[in-house]
Amino acid sequence: MGKFVNNIDEFFKFCEENEVEFVDLRFTDIKGAWHHLTYRMSAVNAENLENGFPFDGSSIEAWQPINKSDMILKPDVPTAFLDPFTADPTIILFCDVYDIYKGELYEKCPRSIAKKALKHAEELGIADAAYFGPENEFFIFDHVEFTDNINEAGYKVDSEEGEWNDPSRFDDYGNMGHRPRTKGGYFPVQPTDSMVDLRAEMMLLLEEVGLEVVLGHHEVAQAQGEIGVVFSDIIGAADNVQKYKYVVKMVAHLNGKSATFMPKPLFGDNGNGMHVHQSLWKEGRNLFYKEGEYGNLSEMALNYAGGIFKHAAAVAAFTNPSTNSYKRLIPGFEAPSILTFSSQNRSAACRIPYGAGEKATRIEMRFPDSSSCPYLAFAAMMMAGLDGIKNKTVPVGPMDEDLFELTLDEIREKGIPQMPHTLREALEGLICDNDFLQPVFSQEFIDTYQHYMFERQVWPDESRPTAFEFKTTYSC
């Protein structure tokens, strides 16, 4: 799998062979949401593929003001793939956003920021390639509803896999009774695993759009799944996350179900993470490998992890950018919130995968989640890691004990740093600690980002009463 075209000439040949009618231009905002506009194939030529397509940047949240709204979408032609869901043949192109006022890639375009991060590593002479392997978990629900009004708030999600449905009577058939139970969803076969055919359809379509699929399985929580795909370079991996989320959501939708990558939709069961495997390379050599060291990790790899841990609060503002993210990062649900590293041990924030040889040695950061914009999440971790390499930052560890068994007092006594506990704490960390992100993340972007997240996530969340607060406070 991989590229379908390599250049503009091949693009037009591919479109002709597949009788393409529409060209769909896609780009990503600072939240990680995918946007698109669609051109008739007849309106697309080599010149606008080369020079770009105009659009209104003021209509995208936290981007341009109305008096400087004209921007350009520059297609990355080798990213082209056929949309498997449209009625008429449509080809999708990933685009970078170009700032006509400054004559450069737009400083608030996440994909452009990730490109700058790799260029920064090259300019430092540290690495010429960075590989990322995200693992995006998701839930599939049969029904979802929520209310958010001045006098009421609430939500309800439902899945026939949920143990809360043990006494339910279903209209079309009886209650079959096979359910994975809370925290019981890891690898049961059918009929307990009810999503086998749905995941298989997702896996086949992911291959159709260019991803190399390895496996699919039920995850720990009820109604939770995961599909494993092969790693790529920093841009390709982030592009693949966008494809992956699109395919998973659409396959669920077309099957009358709803997919979500929300970190913590179920109280009392495991949440959705996006574990991210990472390594730096130079001249074809894995810089994270040193045979005979702990986990075969080089000093550079440890310093990279140390940099991420040192800047964990600021990094979390990008890797865990929702208030819901921190409901996942609590003890008791395999939450990797303790900032140490360990070989094989999944209770540490950084795991060293077992049995990796020279080519496969890497670190796995387990705290990120899929509410993040993948381009910003990967770039932030990489910039923190590069800072750790420059400053030879040494992380706490290794720690091979089960960290989930430690009490909060024991964690403090051992002097183990932790992830921030709220999005507010992460954003305040970003405000105080952002030099390591520059110049890849401009100061204007950082200011825009933290203001946007406070206004759209933190303050609205903090100002709303919850059902739990009524339960515990109403009669006080």
Binding residues for L-glutamate: 270-271, 328, 334, 346, 366
Residue 351: active-site member? no
Residue 161: active-site member? no
Active-site residue, from 10, 24, 76, 135: 135
Q: List binding-site positions for Mg(2+).
A: 135, 137, 219, 226, 275, 364
Active-site residue, from 346, 400, 425, 433: 346
Residue 428: active-site member? no
Q: List binding-site positions for ATP.
A: 277-279, 346, 359
Active-site residue, from 275, 311, 362, 424: 275
Residue 135: active-site member? yes
Residue 366: active-site member? yes
Let me know if 96 is exposed, middle or buried by CB neighbors in 10 A (0-12, 13-18, 19+). Answer: buried
Active-site residue, from 99, 226, 369, 387: 226
Q: List binding-site positions.
A: 135, 137, 219, 226, 270-271, 275, 277-279, 328, 334, 346, 359, 364, 366
Active-site residue, from 83, 99, 239, 364: 364
Active-site residue, from 56, 88, 435, 469: 56
Helix (H), strand (E), coil (C) string for the chain? CCCCCCCHHHHHHHHHHCCCCEEEEEEECCCCCEEEEEEEHHHCCHHHHHHCEEEEHHHCCCCCCHHHCEEEEEECHHHCEECCCCCCCEEEEEEEEEECCCCEECCCCHHHHHHHHHHHHHHCCCCCEEEEEEEEEEEEECEEEEEECCCCEEEEEECCCCHHHCCCCCCCCCCCCCCCCCCCCCCCCCCCCCCHHHHHHHHHHHHHCCCCEEEEEECCCCCEEEEEECCEEHHHHHHHHHHHHHHHHHHHHHCCCEEECCCCCCCCCCCCCEEEEEEEEECCEECCECCCCHHHECHHHHHHHHHHHHCHHHHHHHHCCCCCHHHHCCCCCCCCCECCEEECCCCCCEEECCCCCCCCCCEEECCCCCCCCHHHHHHHHHHHHHHHHHHCCCCCCCCCCCHHHCCHHHHHHCCCCECCCCHHHHHHHHHHCCHHHCCCCCHHHHHHHHHHHHHHHHHHHHCCCCHHHHHHHCCC
Active-site residue, from 83, 96, 99, 137: 137
Active-site residue, from 111, 218, 362, 366: 366
Which residues are designated catalytic? 56, 135, 137, 219, 226, 275, 346, 364, 366
